[in-house]
């Protein structure tokens, strides 16, 4: 080989080696936030050991901006905006604070002067709202299926009665009064009652009636009163302690209707697409007495009947239980129920136990499923809070604070009047659960269902709830009304949003205890509409449909892992929940092997999805043979900058390789011509 060829070969070898190393470094470096605010002047540096900092002033929040009452995407940019009440003592107006991704702050929206849409809605515009009327609840949903988020407000009159109003959104954060819903109370649930992929409303009236507002194709709502036959007519729905929800209880990926009543938690099973969901109850086509499960059943097991009542150990309105919280606490793919009781000073978790899910059967029902109740925290006072002159029952908020796949607890501590955060961590396998008198509340063990070995009984592994003590800032917040986890910039990291009587605060979370932790988000969208057209950049406006249930399965360190989440299962007073399902994942083997979504339109599965991304599931109309056609938009935001750099490196590599080959070809051509001349060839 000539010296020139050897030099070029060595150059190409080292160039490709350097390119591969750079690409590998870009792909494997720990995921970082796309933009992280600098520490505020009064806060501790983000590089210190304090993982929580108050960034309210930096992002445009703090005192004077109003109390947040709902979160959602009003501006169709796929970032989370806030709906706030400017004056919590007056509670007569709402406005939208839009998240600006470029300035990294919340700003008030500006609406066209010649438009009927306004940046602030006030009850002064309603002749039916006397001066002493107040806004007592807000829920967000897409009322007319145009892809733009709308607001549903419940208003309390001076005589104690209620009515509701729908505020239409224009996709820019502006609101317009659209319609009035008589009798709408704060104990409401946004759900799809007739399986048409449109958001309907269920609520308990002031007369303790079960009422549906059915969303018609015209965008109008029709009122239907649902009266169960005996003996369930004796079960009076609760109002102040309302724990109504639209969530998958039996594991079939179809959201069920949960109603809190004097009998306990009533679970009305979703019969699915082939039976039009709950429509036969709404329109009085079902006589409940004929095929009702024995409502005195206390096992909470099985799925052989349209409903059952869970026993008093799960939720009991007569012993001081607060609002129930529905989530997959033990990360086994089934929805559990957590309840805080200020009287007994305990937090109970009722685990939804069943046989583990298997591949390609994530939405199968195990006939032996049942609930098992354990005390998760003791000697802790989860207190009620006051919102204006309205009392809010104690409630537990959940989120994956360190996205390790285990749900952490956020609650208002009544003893100190501040927030408390408890992280869930593994505590080994086969650990026995038992209360520990005299021990600190931070060290309580409880069981988790594991795999079935050789078809036997479930093995038990435990979690340890540890009070997060590395963020003293969190425990210095005074007079919190409510708090929740929020993914502010759609990068998977969950920060803490706190609603107070005098403002809203954002506690920035920079905590990460595992470098290999990733996330996965999924959103199921409501019914398709003619106004859904792609913009120049190919994006579309969309609003999640509450109740859509996701399950993800992947290979982890200890075998196959399965997680589940229901979009916006509870939409009552101060839910403060974004509808996208977020899953924290650690030590994933490769990718999301299987994802299932159930709800309106049946159940569908997808395979081989990469983490650190958002999957948006779009309905594309119904098939002639039945079912729904779907489209998946896969949005990867966590590594968009890294992927651009990788593509740039590869393109430069190809260009340089082209010139290197051209150079070798030219040099060898010259050498060949020289040899021909030397030997006298023509």
Residue 640: partners with Cβ closer than 8 Å, 6 or more residues away: 34
- Top-ranked range on mean pLDDT: pick from 18-32, 197-211, 389-403, 429-443: 197-211
666 sits in which H/E element: helix 640-678
Convert the pLDDT of each residue in 581-640 to its tens digit.
999 887 788 889 999 999 877 888 999 998 888 899 888 766 655 667 788 888 775 455
* Reported confidence tier of residue 299, pLDDT bands at 50, 70, 90: very low
Q: Cα separation of 120 and 105, whole Å?
A: 19
Please give the full DSSP string across 40-74, using - where no structure is assigned: PTTS--TTSS--EEE-TTTTT-EETS-EEEEEE-S
Instruction: Determine which of 3-12, 44-53, 130-139, 575-584 has the lowest per-residue pLDDT on average.
Output: 44-53
**For all residues of the chain together, what is the average pLDDT?**
79
For 379-442, the DSSP string reads S--B--EEETTEEE----EEE-TT-SSS-EEEEEETTTTEEEEEEEEEEEESPPP---TTS-TT
Taking a C-beta distance cutoff of 8 angstroms, is the pair 173, 119 a contact? Answer: yes
Answer whether residue 430 shows pLDDT above 50: no
CA distance readout (Å), 49 to 44, 206, 242, 512, 515: 9, 51, 40, 12, 16
* Spatial separation of the C-alpha atoms in residues 117 and 169, rounded to whole Å: 8
- pTM beyond cutoff 0.85: no
User: Please, how many CA atoms are within 13 Å of residue 265, restricted to the half-sphere of its CB?
Assistant: 31
Summarised one tens digit per residue, pLDDT across range 308-331 is: 889 888 999 889 898 899 999 988
Reported as a single tens digit per residue, the pLDDT across 120-176 is 999 998 988 999 999 999 999 999 888 899 999 999 999 999 999 999 999 899 999
Distance CA 597, CA 254 (A): 9
- Rounded CA-CA distance 69/43 in Å is 26
Q: What local confidence, expressed as pLDDT, does residue 286 receive?
A: 42
CA distance 457 to 101: 50
pLDDT greater than 60 at residue 27: no
Residues linked to residue 550 through DSSP beta bridges, in sequence order: 565, 597
Q: What is the pLDDT of residue 154?
A: 94
614-622/517-524 β-pairing: parallel
Q: Which of the listed ranges 171-185, 373-387, 435-449 does the model predict with the highest average pLDDT?
A: 171-185
pLDDT at 272: 67
Q: Tell me the per-residue pLDDT of 464-487, one tens digit each, with 9 for 90 and over.
A: 788 887 767 888 888 898 899 999
φ and ψ at 191, to 5 degrees? -155, 170
Q: Tell me how far apart the alpha carbons of residues 393 and 242 are, in angstroms, rounded to a whole number.
A: 9
pLDDT of residue 293: 31
């Amino acid at each position: 080989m000539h010296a020139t060829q050897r030099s070029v070969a060595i150059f190409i070898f080292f160039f490709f080696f350097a390119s591969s190393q750079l690409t590998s470094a870009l792909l494997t470096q720990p995921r970082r936030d796309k933009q992280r605010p600098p520490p505020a002047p009064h806060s501790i540096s983000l590089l210190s050991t304090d993982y929580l900092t108050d960034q309210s002033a930096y992002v445009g929040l703090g005192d004077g901006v109003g109390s947040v009452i709902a979160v959602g995407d009003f501006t169709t940019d796929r970032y989370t905006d806030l709906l706030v009440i400017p004056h919590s003592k007056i509670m007569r107006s709402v406005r939208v604070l839009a998240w600006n991704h470029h300035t990294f702050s919340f700003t008030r929206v500006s609406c066209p002067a010649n438009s009927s849409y306004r940046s602030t809605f006030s009850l002064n515009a309603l002749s039916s709202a006397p001066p002493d009327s107040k806004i007592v609840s807000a829920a967000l949903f897409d009322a007319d299926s145009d892809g733009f988020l709308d607001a549903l407000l419940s208003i309390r009159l001076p005589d104690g009665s209620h009515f509701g109003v729908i505020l239409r959104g224009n996709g820019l954060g502006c609101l317009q009064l659209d319609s009035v819903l008589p009798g709408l109370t704060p104990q409401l649930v946004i759900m799809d009652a007739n399986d048409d992929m449109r958001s309907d409303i269920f609520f308990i009236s002031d007369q303790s009636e079960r009422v549906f507002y059915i969303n018609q194709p015209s965008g109008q709502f029709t009122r239907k009163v649902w009266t169960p036959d005996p003996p369930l007519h004796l079960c009076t729905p609760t109002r102040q302690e309302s724990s109504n929800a639209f969530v998958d209880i039996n594991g079939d990926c179809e959201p069920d209707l949960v109603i809190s009543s004097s009998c306990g938690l009533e679970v009305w099973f979703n019969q699915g697409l082939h039976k039009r969901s709950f429509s036969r109850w709404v329109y009085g086509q079902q006589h409940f007495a004929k095929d009702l499960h024995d409502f005195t059943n206390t096992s909470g097991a099985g799925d052989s009947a349209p409903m059952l009542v869970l026993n008093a150990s799960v939720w009991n309105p007569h012993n001081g239980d607060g609002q129930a919280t529905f989530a997959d606490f033990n990360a086994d793919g089934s929805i559990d129920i957590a309840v805080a009781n200020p009287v007994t000073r305990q937090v109970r978790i009722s685990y939804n136990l069943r046989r583990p899910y298997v591949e390609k059967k994530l939405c199968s029902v195990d006939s032996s499923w049942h609930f098992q109740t354990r005390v998760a925290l003791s000697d802790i006072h989860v207190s009620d809070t006051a919102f204006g002159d309205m009392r809010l029952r104690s409630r537990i908020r959940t989120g994956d604070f360190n996205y390790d796949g285990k749900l952490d607890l956020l609650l208002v501590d009544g003893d100190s009047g501040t927030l408390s955060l408890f992280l869930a961590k593994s505590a080994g396998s086969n650990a026995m659960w038992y209360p520990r008198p005299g021990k600190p509340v931070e060290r309580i063990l409880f069981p988790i269902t594991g795999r079935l070995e050789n078809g036997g009984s479930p093995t038990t592994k435990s979690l340890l709830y540890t009070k997060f003590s590395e963020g003293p800032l969190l425990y210095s917040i005074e007079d919190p009304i409510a708090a929740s986890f929020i993914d502010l910039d759609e990068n998977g990291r969950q920060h803490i949003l706190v609603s107070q009587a005098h403002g809203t605060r954002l506690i920035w979370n920079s905590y990460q205890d595992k470098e290999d932790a990733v996330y996965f988000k999924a959103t199921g969208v409501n019914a398709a509409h003619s106004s859904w057209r792609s913009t120049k950049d190919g994006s579309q406006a969309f609003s999640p449909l509450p109740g859509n249930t996701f399950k993800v399965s992947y290979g982890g360190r200890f075998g196959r892992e399965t997680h589940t989440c229901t979009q916006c299962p509870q939409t009552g007073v101060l839910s403060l929940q974004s509808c996208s399902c977020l899953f924290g994942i650690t030590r994933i083997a490769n990718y999301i092997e299987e994802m299932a979504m159930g709800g309106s339109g049946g159940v569908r599965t997808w395979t081989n999805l990469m983490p650190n991304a958002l999957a948006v599931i779009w309905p594309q109309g119904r098939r002639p043979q039945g079912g729904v056609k779907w489209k998946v938009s896969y949005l990867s935001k966590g590594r968009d900058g890294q992927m651009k750099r990788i593509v740039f490196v590869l393109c430069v590599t190809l260009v340089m390789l082209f010139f290197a080959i051209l150079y070798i070809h030219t040099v060898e051509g010259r050498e060949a011509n020289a040899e021909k001349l030397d030997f006298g060839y023509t």
